[in-house]
Amino acid sequence: MRHASGTVAAGGEERAFTVSNVKAAVEEVLQWLPNAGMPVEAAHADPTSRGHIIVAEDNADMRSYICRLLTEAGFTVNAYPDGNAALTACLANRPELVLSDVMMPGLDGFGLLKRLRAEALTATLPVILLSARAGEESRIDGLSTGADDYLIKPFHAHELVARVDGTIRLARARREVEAELRKAKEDAENATKLKDKFLSLVSHDLKGPLGAVRGFLMLMRDDLALREQQEMVKFIDMSVESSDRMIKMISELLSVSRFKTGKIVPRLKPLSVRKLAETELKLLAPLAAGKNVQLLNEIPEGLELCADPDLLAEVIQNLISNAIKFSKKGGTVRVMNSGQGVITVGDDGMGISPERREKLFRYEELTSTFGTAGEPGTGLGLPLSYDLVKAHGGELSVESTLGKGSKFSVRLPVDACPDGVCEGSKETCRLRGRASEN
């Protein structure tokens, strides 16, 4: 119905037209008549096509008009009278774009859009909605449902073609970028695997000869000591110390490489946390004695967790070694149970700045610094420990204050034992990781 006020009624709502566009709109509407358009209900794919489009429109004249416009513009078009038929066609042969009316019997445009987004094949399929509802609010409502664009009827032919073409081009560009990103990701992963494999081979091949060099150095040292050539013994000791550092670094590189290539997988079993801590403290007692650092095992008797004994021992050893390294002479290093399933290694040493704390667990960051007595490090121990704890389904965290010391906490799941591994009932296994009442 046409009104004197210069509006056109559409679907119970009115859309305003200026004098300049009334004529254009009328000409567009006249082309909807059957003798002005050709029925394109099932066009066939064309290798020279600008893109395959599925149209859902219940009005036969409008459907024929849209098909004619898009076909003449070089697109391949399949048109359907309702949302259900269009959905079936999309799932059978995914198009590059769907152009759908909003108001249709059965499955309407919003319903079609929702169904398309729910299917893996069409979840990212570009959709343009057509509606007689005018105004910015209606457009926002249409886009907020997940449509890529929203076109108001009546529309100009060139606007429809431009919107369709632009949406298809954007979708193609997005797919190309995504493909390039996937390719770059695969290339990076392959390069990392190759690097890790090379690192593993080099580390393995270096470790043996270095061990032999150290052995010969020790034989020379013993011989020189018998001859009382103390100056030479001093030089040999320095060489042995250097070889020890290199062997340690190679061992850590080898561990990192084995973990990254999937050769290290935690084998969980119940273990006594206090015994594990005691073993590692004894191994590192000579290192602590050199700085007069007191080592305290404050893990309560009977505390058990489910973990890989060797991997958890490596983590605890790294944390205790670091604590000794950054402790002052006469300091104290404690191994504690500070919560359910939590093992904490604390010291009263030099502490860590907030800037360094953020980078401690990253392989790519150079975080190694000299200890309070000039002890060097590789910078690999903490990132490796972080990965080993993460492989258990746990978390490694740090709290530190400059000048007052640091606390590194290993938090492990208290019900991590799989069936058949944990001794006793599952409830008993869960209770094992709880903090002592003392």
CA distances from 382 to 285, 377, 378 (A): 20, 11, 10
Q: Which tokens sit at 133?
A: 């509802």
Q: Measured in whole angstroms, how far is the alpha carbon of residue 307 from the centre of its chain?
A: 25
Per-residue pLDDT, 253: 64
Between strands 52-56 and 97-101, the pairing is parallel
pLDDT at residue 293 in the model: 92
Q: What is the pLDDT of residues 99-128, one digit of tens each?
A: 999 989 989 999 999 999 999 999 999 999
Among 47, 135, 53, smallest CA distance to 90 is for 53
pLDDT in tens, the chain (438 residues): 333 333 333 333 334 434 344 344 444 444 443 333 333 343 344 545 789 999 999 999 999 999 999 999 999 999 999 999 999 999 999 999 999 999 899 899 999 999 999 999 999 999 999 988 755 665 676 677 788 998 888 889 999 999 999 999 999 999 899 888 888 888 877 776 666 666 655 555 565 666 677 777 788 878 788 777 888 888 887 777 777 766 666 666 666 666 666 666 788 889 999 999 999 999 889 888 889 999 999 999 989 899 988 889 889 988 998 899 889 899 999 999 988 889 999 999 989 888 888 888 887 666 567 777 667 666 678 888 888 898 888 999 999 999 899 999 999 987 756 544 444 334 434 434 444 333
Task: Write out the E strands in 287-429.
Answer: 294-297, 304-307, 332-339, 342-347, 395-401, 405-411
Q: How far apart are CA 31 and CA 407, in angstroms?
A: 78
Q: Is the torsion defined by CA of 264, 269, 270, 276 positive or negative?
A: negative
Query: What CA–CA distance (Å, rounded) separates 368 from 379?
Result: 4
Other CB atoms within 10 A of residue 185 CB: 10
| pLDDT reported for residue 258 | 65
Rounded Cα gap, residues 207 and 202, in angstroms: 9
pLDDT score recorded for residue 235: 80
By the 10 Å C-beta count (0-12 exposed, 13-18 middle, 19+ buried), 240 is classed as middle
Count CB neighbours of 2 within 10 A: 11
CA distance 99 to 66: 9
Q: What confidence score (pLDDT) does residue 225 get? A: 80
β-strand pairing of 76-80 with 332-339: unpaired
**pLDDT computed for residue 378 by the predictor:** 64
- Give the DSSP letter of residue 417: P
CA distance 11 to 259: 65
* SS3 assignment for 79-130: EECCHHHHHHHHHHCCCCEEEEECCCCCCCHHHHHHHHHHCCCCCCCCEEEE
What is residue 330's three-state secondary structure? Answer: coil
Q: What pLDDT does 236 receive?
A: 81
Q: Is the peptide bond before 376 cis (omega within 30 degrees of 0)?
A: no
In sequence order, which ranges of 227-308 are alpha helices (DSSP H)? 230-260, 273-283, 285-289
pLDDT tens per residue, range 234-271: 888 777 777 776 666 666 666 666 666 666 678 888 99
DSSP state letters, 26-80: HHHHHTTSGGGS---SBPPP-TT-S-EEEEE-S-HHHHHHHHHHHHHTT-EEEEE
Q: Give the C-alpha separation, 76 to 67, whole Å.
A: 9
Query: What is the predicted pLDDT for the residue at 202?
Result: 58
pLDDT of 37: 35
